[in-house]
Structure 1
Amino acid sequence: MKKTKEIVGLPIISISDGIEVGKVKTVIINAEKGAIDYVVVDSGIQILSAKVIPTEYVLGIGEYALTIENEDAINDISKIPAAIDLLQKNIQVKGTKVLTKKGRLLGEIGDIYIDEEDNCNIIGLEYIADITQKNIRIIPRDSIITFGKNLVVVKEDVESRLLDRAADLASSEETGESEKKNSEVPTLSDIINSTPAEDEIQPGAVSDMMELKHREYLNGKVATKTIFDNEGNTLIEENTVIDDVVFDIAKTNGKVIELVMNNR
């Protein structure tokens, strides 16, 4: 996790050559994705004539340097229409006002937290409630609705979701992913509500429909952990693509729920 102020000014190192090829001048934000798409290389020329590095080519962002494979990762911004478009939109985020969905003005944004290990996605924003007192807290990503040029729009209950430490962003992200995953997994209630009236359901029909829903949900997904049987033998290896054969293995060994909770 990094704040943008920790990135701007970093030396850019080509690891193939072992040399510094520039410094980070600024970053370019993609508001629709909620991520940093490009790093601008400080070369002392006008920004519209500058060179940029797509963040997909960034190998790492450490305490002392930003690393790339070689200088081929650096491109003229004039040759990347998408970068020019984002630059012209001029989404800064830092210093913009915070507005709730229902129109309450709350404060302003201090800095941006990104996950440099996950495509430089924005995972939180420093929130300054009182400019005089500099009372800084953090807005988690799942409370942000829109990154605008002049305003960041947030959910109405944002005050109850504010965090006090940057370290809490990781657990907030995990909770959000867990809630999202759980909301996708069909529950017994979901299935019953979508089935005929209770007196029309045949014995075993609910469990059959639950199995069908789980099978449909998992088809084509990838297991995110290795699943073992009760004796410790490997049933399904991590990164296995789930199909009917894999599902039947999980079903036979009573591991369907474990598979449902560990996939992407």
Structure 2
Amino acid sequence: MKKSREIVELPIINITDGEEMGTVKSLIINPEKGTVDFLVIQHEEWEVSVKAIPFKKVVGVGEYAVTVDNESAIIDLNEIPIANNLMNKKVKIIGTRVMTRKGQLLGQIDEYYVNDDNGNIEAIHLDMKDHTEMVHRDAVVTYGEKMIIVNENIENYYITEEEEPTAPVLQEVPSVLNQEEEQASEQLNDLQKKQLELLEGKKVVKDITNQNGEQIIQAGTILSQDEIQRVQSEGPSVIVDVTMNVAE
């Protein structure tokens, strides 16, 4: 598990060639899943377009570098609508205020912790008026651009930095969506419809796996609507992988 600040500014190394491809400029958050889906790359030769690496393509996040297999891990965000949409949501987490579902303002987040194997946001570090606490991911109801909503019984989700962030056994609470999030959800639905139109009938040229490494689409498959919808349900990084590996 890494602090977000431990990932930003790390060099990105292509382990096939042993070359540095830039540094991590920022992390792109998926607010619906509470994950880091992409690492934005800082490179002096790429100022015109925004390049990123899907977290799924990351081999490792070490103390000194982020490693990927080869240059094919890099994508142009402007060419992947769903990735660009996530970036435009501008969910930053650090510095965002935290409020309970019933409207009590608790403080703001000064750090968050990322599972360096799968990109899950495992915990947030909450700076309150008189103390700070590390809070398990299951306390979070909604990640918004300007506000993060959490459960009222926040103290039940406190963990120490030495503990592994295991989930408390509590009743699930339905997500709270404000107007901006509802609009974002509608935009996402439009993007998914466009993906259906773009991908239906195309041939997958390599095996596609989910974030757990399980094969979900076999190479040579001609994509149907059901298969595309199944891939969409796996998250942005998987649909990006499919988009990059299809042929007419």
The verdict on a shared fold, with TM-score over 0.5 as the criterion, is yes
TM-score (norm 2): 0.65
Deviation at 1:47, TM superposition (A): 7.1
1:2·1:115 contact (CA, 8 Å) conserved in 2?
Answer: yes
Alpha-carbon separation, structure 1, partners of 2:98 and 2:54: 28
Deviation at 1:76, TM superposition (A): 1.1
- Cα-to-partner distance string for 1:124-170 (whole Å, 9 max, x where unaligned): 0010002xx6x32111111111111111111000034322x3222x1
Q: Which residue, 152, 158, 176 being the options, matches 1:156?
A: 152
Corresponding residue for residue 132 of structure 2: 136
Alpha-carbon separation, structure 2, partners of 1:84 and 1:32: 15
- Cα-to-partner distance string for 1:183-237 (whole Å, 9 max, x where unaligned): 9xxxxxxxxxxxxxxxxxxxxxxxxxxxxxxxxxxxxxxxxxxxxxxxxxxxxxx
Corresponding residue for residue 201 of structure 2: none
Considering only CA atoms, is the larger Rg found in Structure 1 or Structure 2?
1
CA RMSD of aligned residues (A): 2.0
Amino acid across the alignment from 1:124: A
Deviation at 1:101, TM superposition (A): 0.9
Deviation at 1:46, TM superposition (A): 7.8
Corresponding residue for residue 74 of structure 2: 74
SS of the residue 1:49 aligns to: coil
Alpha-carbon separation, structure 2, partners of 1:140 and 1:125: 7
Deviation at 1:75, TM superposition (A): 1.1
TM-score (norm 1): 0.61
Between structures 1 and 2, the one with greater helix share: 1
Corresponding residue for residue 100 of structure 1: 100
Amino acid across the alignment from 2:120: N
Deviation at 1:82, TM superposition (A): 1.1
Within a 5 Å distance, the mapping from 1:51-200 to structure 2 comes to: 51-117=51-117, 119-130=118-129, 135-163=131-159, 165-168=160-163, 170=164, 172-173=165-166, 175-176=167-168, 179=169
* Same amino acid, percent of matched pairs: 39
4+ runs of 1 displaced by more than 4 Å? 45-48
Alpha-carbon separation, structure 1, partners of 2:33 and 2:48: 22
Deviation at 1:108, TM superposition (A): 0.3
Corresponding residue for residue 257 of structure 1: none
Amino acid across the alignment from 2:104: R
Alpha-carbon separation, structure 1, partners of 2:87 and 2:29: 8
Alpha-carbon separation, structure 1, partners of 2:128 and 2:69: 41
Deviation at 1:93, TM superposition (A): 1.1
2:51·2:75 contact (CA, 8 Å) conserved in 1?
Answer: yes
Amino acid across the alignment from 2:101: K
Amino acid across the alignment from 2:61: I
2:21·2:43 contact (CA, 8 Å) conserved in 1?
Answer: no
Corresponding residue for residue 8 of structure 2: 8
Alpha-carbon separation, structure 2, partners of 1:45 and 1:95: 30
Count residues in correspondence.
171
